[in-house]
């Protein structure tokens, strides 16, 4: 059986250089032993990911990263102590222990402690970090349950550790300490307001880029894309162009009149941005399986996790 909750088996496979999909609170990751360059190379092949796009390494304690030679400055340590384990990734000066294929030869490496009980237990069993991008083919929507991984990568992974649905549902927020001033590289599952409160300063957001800069390819404008074209905007505007039966929607807290209700995905009937984040990627996959010509997503309030949700929807809609 490829899917299960056997952490000893997962640890053994990782030690052998195999690929294991792991649950995290954000999205499922496609993990390999980060100290094994061949195993890491296999991740790029399976995901069809450009080799210039660096990977995040995961472990269960700050001390392990320090022992592997990664250095935290004062602010980075503050964030690590406040939010790890949790949906945040820190980009820090790398160490010679990390094979260059992991971070695509950059002078910094991304580190994360995922907050998922099963994966924390697994990471405690092993004495190496795991490199893990989201467990989806490059460019498609990230997986938030084991079935999503099975649907797309069944033949490519050696084991899927099933930890249930991801409760945050958006990838980690990425903060770079590659330069002295902290920079936000990706909106994600930890609201930036909380991070700024701990740092007592505003983050530099100038590094969030929308072009094809190879420094942070997760920032490529087209990303997280459904196969059915998705647009972000007011649903009423598209009713002039499309027949209601050809429209699928992703709405915030209530469905839109006129469009058949079974073609509408409501992210958060309770109106909470956390609920919307948890449901977003599964809703995008469901919308992609409707027999419609266009998916219209309604922008969410631009605060807290709404910023990250709108960011993902914007990237999914790029060029449409």
Compute the least distance from the CB of residue 174 to ligand TXA, in Å.
Answer: 5
In the bound state with Mg ion, the residue whose beta carbon lies nearer, of 134 and 176, is 134
Using the minimum distance from each CB to ligand TXA, give the nearer residue, 114 or 248. Answer: 114
CB nearer ligand TXA, residue 137 or residue 301: 137
DSSP codes of every residue in 46-59: HHT--TTS--EEE-
- 197 preceded by cis ω (within 30°)? no
Our finding on whether 26 is near Mg ion (CB under 5 A) is: no
Q: How far is the CB of 8 from Mg ion (least distance, A)?
A: 28
Q: Please say which residue, 140 or 252, places its beta carbon nearer to ligand TXA.
A: 140
Backbone angles phi, psi at 105, to 5 degrees: 80, 5
Q: Which does 167 bind (CB under 5 to 8 A by kind): ligand TXA, Mg ion, none?
A: none
Answer whether 269's CB lies under 8 Å from 255's CB.
Answer: no
Place of tokens 């399986």: 289
Parallel, antiparallel, or unpaired: how do β-strands 108-112 and 56-58 relate?
Answer: parallel
Rg of the chain over all Cα atoms, to the nearest angstrom: 19
292 CB-side CA count, 13 A: 30
> Of 106, 116, 148, 312, which lies in the binding site for ligand TXA, with binding defined by CB under 6 A?
106
Q: Which residues of 277-307 are buried (b: 16+ CB within 10 A; e: fewer)?
A: bbbbbbbbbebbebebebbbbbebeeebbbb
Q: Identify which range of 126-134, 231-239, 266-274, 279-287 contacts ligand TXA by CB under 6 A.
A: 126-134
Stretch that binds ligand TXA, among 69-77, 110-118, 271-279, 284-292 (CB under 6 A): 110-118
Residue 155 has what DSSP assignment?
T
Q: Is 316 in the site for ligand TXA (CB under 6 A)?
A: no
Size of site (CB under 6 A) for ligand TXA: 27
Residue 46 found at the interface with ligand TXA (CB under 6 A) = no
Q: How far is the CB of 53 from ligand TXA (least distance, A)?
A: 5
Q: Closest approach of Cβ 39 to ligand TXA, in Å?
A: 15
Compute the distance between CA of residue 320 and CA of residue 219 in angstroms, rounded to an integer: 17
Residue 54 found at the interface with ligand TXA (CB under 6 A):
yes
Binding of residue 134 to Mg ion (CB under 5 A): yes
Nearest residue to the partner Mg ion, using Cβ:
134
CA dihedral 199, 207, 224, 84 (to 10 degrees): -20
How many angstroms separate the CA atoms of 296 and 231, rounded? 5
- 306 scored as a contact of ligand TXA (CB under 6 A): no
Does 144 help bind Mg ion (rule: CB under 5 A)? no
Residues 226, 220: Cα–Cα separation, whole Å: 15
Q: Which residues inside 140-199 make contact with ligand TXA, applying CB under 6 A?
A: 171-172, 174, 185
Binding site for ligand TXA (CB under 6 A): 24, 26-27, 29, 53-56, 89, 91, 103, 106, 108-110, 112, 114, 132-134, 171-172, 174, 185, 216-218
């Amino acid at each position: 059986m490829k899917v299960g909750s056997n952490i000893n088996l997962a640890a053994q496979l990782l030690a052998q250089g195999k690929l294991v999909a792991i649950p995290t609170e954000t999205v499922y990751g496609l993990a390999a032993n980060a100290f094994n360059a061949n195993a890491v190379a296999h991740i790029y092949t399976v995901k069809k990911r450009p080799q210039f796009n660096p990977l995040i390494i995961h472990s269960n304690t700050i001390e392990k990263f320090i022992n592997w030679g990664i250095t935290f400055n004062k602010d980075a340590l503050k964030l690590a102590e406040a939010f790890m384990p949790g949906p945040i990734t820190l980009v820090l000066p790398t160490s010679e222990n990390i094979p260059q294929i992991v971070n695509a030869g950059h002078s910094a490496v991304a580190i994360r402690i995922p907050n998922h009980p099963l994966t924390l237990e697994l990471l405690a069993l092993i004495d190496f970090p795991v490199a893990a991008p989201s467990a989806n083919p490059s460019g498609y929507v990230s997986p938030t349950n084991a079935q999503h991984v099975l649907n797309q990568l069944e033949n490519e992974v050696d084991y899927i550790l099933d930890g249930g649905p991801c409760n945050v549902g958006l990838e980690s927020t990425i903060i770079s300490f590659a330069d002295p001033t902290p920079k936000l590289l990706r909106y994600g599952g930890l609201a930036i307001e909380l991070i700024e409160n701990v740092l007592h300063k505003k983050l530099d957001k100038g590094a969030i880029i929308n072009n094809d800069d190879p420094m942070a390819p997760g920032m490529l404008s087209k990303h997280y894309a459904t196969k059915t074209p998705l647009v972000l905007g007011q649903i009423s505007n598209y009713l002039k162009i499309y027949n209601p039966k050809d429209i699928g929607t992703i709405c915030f807290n209530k469905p839109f009149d006129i469009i058949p209700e079974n073609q509408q995905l409501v992210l958060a009937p309770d109106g909470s941005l956390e609920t919307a984040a948890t449901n977003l990627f599964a809703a995008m996959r469901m919308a992609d399986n409707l027999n419609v010509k266009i998916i219209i997503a309604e922008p969410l309030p631009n605060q807290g996790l709404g910023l990250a949700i709108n960011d993902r929807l914007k990237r999914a809609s790029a060029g449409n």
